[in-house]
Amino acid sequence: MRHSLALLVTTAMCAVLSPWSASAADQADQISRGQYQAILGDCAACHTKPGGQPLAGGAPLETPFGPLVPPNITPDLETGIGSWTAEEFKTMMRTGIGHGGKRLYPAMPYPAYTKMSDRDVSDLWQYLTTVQPVRNEVEANQLPFPFNIRFSLFGWNLLNFTEGTYEADPSRSDEWNRGAYLVTGAGHCSTCHTPKSIMGADQEGQFLKGSSLQGWYAPDITGGNHTGIGSWTSEEIVTYLKTGVGTKTIASGPMAEAIENSTSKMDDADLAAIATYLKSLPDESKATSTALPANDPRMMAGQAIYRDNCSACHSADGKGAMPLFPALSGNQIVQQGSPETPAHLVLFGSQGVQTDARPTKPSMPALAWRLSDKEVADVLTYVRNSWGNSASAVGESDVKETRESR
């Protein structure tokens, strides 16, 4: 009798508690999924200032139109998004129109986020409501007149923005569609890797063909062998995104941040899907280049500079010593149409990525203090046209521009 009574009480308690437990578990799952969406969208890269509180506002982004500061997206009621509703957040992600009807600049990549599913946007919102609120008022719009007038974005959207979630291609595999969804949506790869028009919109027909970005050059990541990643295997792409170290390349600049904060924390299945999608992008490049002859005065001067300053790490034949010193021969970064990234690396050096898979950060010393603009131009010209590489010569003015951009 006593046993039956205990069983009856236990059953009654379970009946009362199980709906709550199921609801709590569902909410926990949603928050966990939302945290993963924040990783996919690399929210921390823009919205967390170095040394600052998580998601409380980032460092200024230098755009061609002036500086924009990523805002506080913690749930602080006064300076963050604590007074927003879930519907307002969804509208912002879908259309670029935020709380109170304020239009966002496309430096916040809503042209990509619009492709995210309702569930993923809802999960992200639920996660953001749980992060630590931080009181930190940010003046996001620091653009000069007339770019500081937000109403102009109405016209920008009419010309350059199409709202709509990602639609799967039934002729492609589930993995390919997942990769396309991530690259074109939450991952917003086009924001950095697609050339921009004079209005700051993606150039038609130039998807992921490479673009300048705050003193760096986000490279071509389409199927070309010369400047793209056509010669990379899917496994090499996954390894690079997971560790920051590829077969011939070590991530630097904004890409190093993206790997550290985002891709190194993605599921292996999602990385494989991204690789599958990127490998499917055709090589549509028509440009060809011929290497400068070894007796060109710039090549001869550059060879001497390379021998004295670079060969100890990258070797005389440009093969490097991976995983610490990347190969320069056959390196797509070196052969991009723009020399911004290699110029930046030579002048200011770089720290590689620290990930769980590769905890040791590779590094490149800064040489701006010892090499003139002409010397940097000559050594880059030599590297870009040696060991099978071919690319345009680097001008002294190119290096000067990079030096002065810091």
Provide the 10 A C-beta neighbour count for residue 233. 12
The confidence score (pLDDT) of residue 8 equals: 40
Q: What is the per-residue pLDDT across 233-247, written as a single tens digit (0 to 9) for each? A: 999 999 999 999 888
236 CB-near residues (< 8 Å, 6+ apart): 246, 247
Q: Which of 350, 391, 346 is nearest to 227 (CA)?
A: 391
Q: What is the per-residue pLDDT across 153-211, written as a single tens digit (0 to 9) for each? A: 777 788 888 899 999 999 999 999 999 999 999 999 999 999 998 878 889 889 999 99
Q: What is the per-residue pLDDT across 117-161, written as a single tens digit (0 to 9) for each? A: 999 999 999 999 999 999 998 877 766 556 666 667 777 788 888
Average pLDDT over residues 23-31: 85
Least reliable range by pLDDT among 193-197, 246-250, 282-286, 362-366: 282-286
Q: What percent of the chain has pLDDT over 90?
A: 63
Between CA 215 and CA 398 the distance in angstroms is 11
The confidence score (pLDDT) of residue 281 equals: 93
* 227 token code pair: 């400047």
Range with top average pLDDT, 39-43, 253-257, 355-359: 39-43
DSSP states of 204-245 as a string? TT-TTS-EEETTEEEPP-SS-SSSSSTTS-HHHHHHHHHHSB
- Average pLDDT value for the chain: 88
Higher-pLDDT residue of 364, 151: 364
Using the structure block, give the residue that is written with the tokens 């200024």.
Answer: 60
Cis peptide before 146 (omega within 30 of 0): yes
Q: What is the per-residue pLDDT across 347-358, written as a single tens digit (0 to 9) for each? A: 999 888 877 777
Using the structure block, give the residue that is written with the tokens 């990549």.
Answer: 109
The confidence score (pLDDT) of residue 354 equals: 74
Q: Which domains does the chain have, with CATH numbers?
A: 26-158 (no CATH), 174-280 (1.10.760), 297-405 (1.10.760.10)
> Per-residue pLDDT for 13 more than 70?
no
- Look up the pTM and report it: 0.89
Between CA 168 and CA 171 the distance in angstroms is 9
Higher-pLDDT residue of 244, 26: 244
Between CA 47 and CA 188 the distance in angstroms is 15
> Per-residue pLDDT for 301 more than 60?
yes
Q: Burial code of 285-313, b = ≥16 C-beta within 10 A, e = fewer?
A: beeeeeebeeebebbebbbebbeebbeee
